[in-house]
Amino acid sequence: MIQGIIAVEPTLSNVIDLLETEGYEVVSLDQSSFDAVDAIIVSGADINLLNMQDTVTDVPVISAAGKTAAEILDELDRL
């Protein structure tokens, strides 16, 4: 059962693995449209998402900075 489509930075492989195990469809952040996903997970290393200062999206953005994959999953499940 697919829980939703989540765009994740490719460097977050542990998060990607856990989300796929839990039934989420994971797509690469650099290859997806913000409108086509249910949430976005970024490493938090770059506050300026994709170097676009005017990026506006209604999709929730979760920063993975300082969080375990399980904590990110829990935050995603609360959305």
Residue with tokens 């490719």: 10
| pTM of this structure | 0.80
Distance CA 41, CA 35 (A): 14
Give the mean model confidence (pLDDT) for residues 22-26: 93
Distance CA 6, CA 42 (A): 11
Distance CA 57, CA 6 (A): 14
pLDDT, tens only, 65-75: 999 999 999 99
Radius of gyration of the chain (CA): 12
Q: In this predicted structure, what is the pLDDT of residue 78?
A: 87
In which element (H, E) is residue 74 found? Answer: helix 69-77
Examine the pLDDT at 76 and tell me if it is beyond 80. yes
